[in-house]
Amino acid sequence: MDSSITHVLVPGTFDPITYGHLDVVRRARRLCPRVTVAVAASLGKNGVGTTFSLDERVALAREALEGLDGVEVLPFTGLLVDFAREVGAGAVVKGLRAMTDFEYELQQADLNYRLDASLESIFVMSSPEFGYLSSSAVRQIASCGGDVELFVPACVAQALKERFK
Ligand code: PNS
């Protein structure tokens, strides 16, 4: 039998990190002693450029996750399976909100499996209060001058305010 998994990745674009992401990271940490939040340099699922640069997304995620024992935030470029191998992570943990996530995440998990069958994909069901929370919705609200404090940590809300002023 393969050795058990002690290090997992929570990957994403995190443009920007939301309370929904923090929920997934906390739950991944309950399952595993070491969690690396992997911030992708590549484009997100909508295929367009990001609002925040890679450095900004990493800095915001680090600030939002400060003090969470066993959790670190690292940027990555290229394939997720290569990054997992590089840092010695045995699984990817992602959150599922609605059926639409399932279709997309199943495709990602299937592709990752074909690229490296030793990398597990683990899914946690989003807490109901975050079921319809997304970075794109948060960006849209912020760009229209709306209050996003309900959805993101204060440091992220501030960064959004400055980006869209
Ligand atoms: O925030 P997202 O859009 O759900 O994150 C998607 C992400 C970054 C995890 C995914 O696009 C990814 O793994 N990108 C790295 C490139 C890669 O490995 N692609 C092949 C698997 S689909």
In a domain, 1, yes or no: no
Give me the number of domains the chain comprises.
1
Residue showing tokens 């683990």: 122
In a domain, 157, yes or no: no
Q: What is the reported pLDDT for 2?
A: 65
In a domain, 22, yes or no: yes
In a domain, 147, yes or no: no
CATH number of the domain at 15, please: 3.40.50.620
Residue 65 in tokens: 């996750």
Q: Hey, which of 108, 111, 121 would you mutate to test ligand 1's pocket, going by the most ligand atoms within 8 Å of its Cβ?
A: 108
pTM: 0.95
Q: Is 94 a catalytic residue?
A: no
Which residue among 34, 97, 126, 139 is the active-site one? 97
Q: What is d(CA 109, CA 92) in angstroms, rounded to the nearest whole number?
A: 9
In a domain, 161, yes or no: no
E strand or H helix at 96, and its extent? Answer: strand 91-96
**Cβ atoms of residues 37 and 25 within 8 Å:** yes
In a domain, 46, yes or no: yes
Q: What is the reported pLDDT for 36?
A: 98
Between the CA of 78 and the centroid of ligand 1 the distance, in Å, is 9
Q: What is the reported pLDDT for 19?
A: 97
In a domain, 159, yes or no: no
In a domain, 142, yes or no: no
Domain that holds residue 24: 7-130
Between the CA of 110 and the centroid of ligand 1 the distance, in Å, is 12
pLDDT in tens, the chain (165 residues): 568 999 999 999 999 999 999 999 999 999 999 999 999 997 666 666 899 999 999 999 999 999 999 999 999 999 999 999 999 999 999 999 988 889 999 999 999 999 999 999 999 998 989 988 999 999 999 999 999 999 999 999 999 999 998
